[in-house]
Every structure is written in C-alpha cells, then in structure tokens.
Amino acid sequence: MKKIINLTKTFFIDSSREFAVPFWTIIFPTLFFILFVSIFENIGTSENLDLKVGIYYEEPLQGVIKTTFDDVFSPSDSNDIPFQVVEYDSFEKGLQNLKNSEISAFVVFPENFNLLNLKLFIETTEVPDIKVYYTNDSASMYAKDIFEVFIDEINIMMYTRGEEVKLTVNEEIIGIKQSEPYRYRDFLFPAIILMSVLTVAVFNMPFDFSYYVEKGVFKRLNSTPIKGNEYFFSFLLSHLILLLISLIVLYIEAYLFDVSSYIYKPGFIAYSGFSILVILSVGLLLSSFYKNMGSAEAISQVIYQATIFLSGFYFEVTNTPWFIRWYVYFNPVTYLVDGMRKLMTGKVLVPVNIIVPVIWMMASILIFSMSYKGMVYREK
C-alpha cells in the first residue's frame, strides 16, 4: 500500500507541475461555464421576446386607482411598455391561456382592490394583494419580473405625490410547483462536468502514457520491484485525484451560480460517477493506441473537438447532416450527457443511457487489458 501511495503521489506531482494540466482540467471548465452562462443565458431576454400579460379585474377599478392603472396598463397604451396587455372577462379563461402558453403571465386585481382609494386617506385600511400567476417558462418569468418593476414604479409615483400607499404582489407559479425552472446553466452544467472528465481521458492520460513510452519508462519498470498492476493503479488514481479536485471546484461554482438542486441528489451523483468510469475507460483505450506524443496530440485534438461539438454539449445535434450524424449516435458521451440532463429534470433514464456506455466501457477495458502488458514491458 505504501508503494502505491508513494507512486500515486509521484505521478500526481509529475503531471500537475506543468501549468497546462491543472489549467485545462480545473481552471478552463470553470471559466468556460461562467462565460457561456453569462452570454447564452441572456439570449432571449425581454427585448427579444413577444411578451403578453393577461389582466383580469374581479371588479372594475374606480377613482384614482383606475386612472393610474389605465395610464400605465391600458391596452391602448400597451406600446409604451415592453409587453402586450390582454384583458380577460373570465378568470378561468385567463388561467387556461397561461397554461397553454398563449400569454406569459396572468395578473388578477382582486375584489375590494378599490379600497386602495380609501387607503390614501385611512392608512389602516386593508387592501388585498394583486396576484400574479406565471409558469416555469423563461418568458413567463421575464413577464412576471417586468410587471413587478412597473408596480414598483407606480409605488414610487404615488410616494412622490405624497400618497404613501404601497402596492403588494402575491406570486403563484402554475404547473408542477415542486419543479425548478430549467435554465441554460442547468443545461450546461452536466456538459462542463463531462468536459473536465474528457480532458483527463483524452489528453492527460494518453499524453502521459505516450511520454513514458517515448522515454522508455516502462522498460525501466521491468527491472524494478514495482509490478504492472501497481503502476497502473497508481497512474489511474493520480488522475482521479486531479479530476476530483476539478469536480469539487465545479460544484462550488454551481452552488454560487444557484444551479438546480438536482445535482446534489444521489441519482445524479451516482450517474456522474458511472459517466466518469465510462469516459476514463475510453481514455485507457486511447492510451493503448498511441505510440508517441506526436500521434497522441493530433488524434486527441480531433477526438476531443468532435466529441465536444457532436454530443449535444451546447446545442441540439440530432438534426445534423447524415454524414456526421453517425458520430452523434456512435459517441457514448451523447448518451451520458443526455442521461445527466434527464436526471436534472426529474425524468427517468431510458435503457440506451445505460446500455451504450456500458458496451463502450466493457470493450475499452477488454482491449486495454489485452494490450497493456505489451505496452508496459515490450516497448522499443
């Protein structure tokens, strides 16, 4: 055991002393996540969305309140605000249209809301809250937030007139109340995890193997007390430690960015561990193919870029042209990232999310085990 610990420590220090290794494994995925969330999560904001807000009055507004709200939210003046106002004469119809995504948010002015006129003179008057219904859809949340901004502006207007009356809003989300909105950061996070694993499997491990082959390290091991399985276990463990550090940093970042809480559930963590085993197995397979650093660098770049862009990491890839779509379905990472996203949205894994990666893992381990001994002890 002491021999394995010392050998693992040596491998870890040797592979980490170059800045490129921790940068591409730990720092780059972290920066990449920040950059992509900052850019793409803001695409489709209110300026680019056709927002409609439905309004229903349980009783007609009167007095100063009617004048104030008509000036701001009247359909005839809707061009002055960043959403279109749709008035309803039925609460049920408005709520149903919200569920059908025909409107982005549904606002209800409750019965006795006209008591707000009286509150201008009698502060103790109780006025029911305006109620805003919305869904998990991003456009619906934008519409709800924008409407509340206008309510805040009305509060400020009333305050500057010497009428210290604060309007309050009561929110209610429609649909599955327990589910969280699925944002781009939630969509991207599984891909960032797998990106870090791919960096270790496609670059770090094959490069180290190729370097040791070129330098004749394996040949020297044949004359030492170190056994092949001890070398292999220590080598793999050193890369797992580096990968674990990367995952810890990514989870800290996910916590700071408020990524979906599903990433902390046992099912997601277990499937992430399964994904790591599959990808590292493929990394071992690649390591057994390369004979020198030149071929490792060239082929690894092609495999890495093809895998990153043809696995659905950043966008949908099932509609790609037929002459490259084969790689989408051939690639095990396609099924792994899809499985992780299913678990993040509370869905159930389908058999293909398990079967295809398992086939890749078993085939990779089998081929590597057949070529490992010759690679370690018979290199020229």
Quick one: pLDDT at residue 161? 59
Residue 14 has pLDDT above 90, yes or no: no
Average pLDDT in the chain = 81
CA distances from 223 to 216, 280, 327 (A): 12, 28, 43
Inter-axis angle of helices 63-73 and 138-160, nearest 10: 130
Question: Which three-class secondary structure state does DSSP give residue 170?
Answer: strand
- 257 CB-contact burial (10 Å; exposed 0-12 / middle 13-18 / buried 19+): middle
Distance CA 229, CA 234 (A): 8
Question: So what's the pLDDT on residue 49?
Answer: 54
Mean pLDDT of 207-225: 72
Closest Cα partner for 284 from 214, 375, 195, 346? Answer: 375
The pLDDT of 271-278, averaged and rounded, is 96
pLDDT at 315 over 70: yes
Note whether 71 and 77 are within 8 A (CB): yes
Q: In the chain, what is the greatest distance between 2 CA atoms, to the nearest angstrom?
A: 97
The whole-number average pLDDT for the span 46-62 is 77
Q: What is the pLDDT of residue 40?
A: 72
The predicted model gives 144-164 an average pLDDT of 73
Confidence of residue 162 (pLDDT cuts 50, 70, 90): low
Cβ atoms of 319 and 337 closer than 8 Å: no
Task: Say what the pLDDT of residue 26 is.
Answer: 87
Give percent of the chain with pLDDT exceeding 70.
82
pLDDT greater than 90 at residue 8: no
Treating both helix axes as pointing N-terminal to C-terminal, what angle do 293-309 and 266-289 enclose, rounded to 10 degrees? 140
> What SS3 class is residue 61?
coil
Q: Does domain 51-173 correspond to CATH entry 3.40.50.10540? A: no
Residue 349 confidence (pLDDT) above 90: yes
* Triad 113, 117, 122: Cα angle to 5°: 110
Task: Flag whether pLDDT at 122 surpasses 70.
Answer: yes
When pLDDT is averaged across residues 316-343 and rounded to a whole number, the result is 87
pLDDT digits (tens, 9 = 90+) for 239-258: 899 999 999 999 999 999 98
CA–CA separation, 307 vs 263, rounded Å?
A: 23
147 closest CA partner among 101, 86, 200: 86
Q: Does residue 150 carry a pLDDT above 80?
A: no
DSSP string, 283-318: HHHHHHH--SHHHHHHHHHHHHHHHHHTTTSSS--T
Neighbour tally for 339: CB within 10 Å: 24
Locate 287 and state its tokens. Answer: 């390591």
State which H helix or E strand residue 119 sits in: helix 115-119
Interatomic CA distance for residues 269 and 263, integer angstroms: 7
Choose among 198, 188, 176, 190: nearest CA to 278.
198
Residue 183 has pLDDT above 60, yes or no: yes
Average pLDDT on 135-150 reads: 79
At a CB cut-off of 8 Å and minimum separation 6, what does 100 contact?
none
What per-residue confidence (pLDDT) applies to 181? 56
Q: How far is residue 258 CA from its own chain's centroid?
A: 10
Per-residue pLDDT at 176: 40
* pLDDT at residue 189, as a whole number: 94
Question: What pLDDT does 78 receive?
Answer: 46
Report which listed range, 48-52, 267-271, 318-322, is most confident: 267-271
Mean pLDDT confidence for 145-167: 71
| Cα 302 to Cα 291: distance, rounded to the nearest angstrom | 17
pLDDT of residue 180: 52
pLDDT bracket for residue 273 (50, 70, 90) = very high
Distance CA 15, CA 22 (A): 9
* CA 182 – CA 42 distance, rounded (Å): 14
Residue 108 φ/ψ, nearest 5 degrees: -115, 120
Phi, psi of 169 (to 5 degrees): -120, 135
The whole-number average pLDDT for the span 157-183 is: 64
Record the pTM: 0.63
Position with higher pLDDT, 224 vs 97: 97
Q: Output the pLDDT for position 243.
A: 92
Phi, psi of 115 (to 5 degrees): -60, -15
Does the structure show a pLDDT above 50 at 142? yes
The confidence band for 23, taking pLDDT boundaries of 50, 70 and 90, is confident
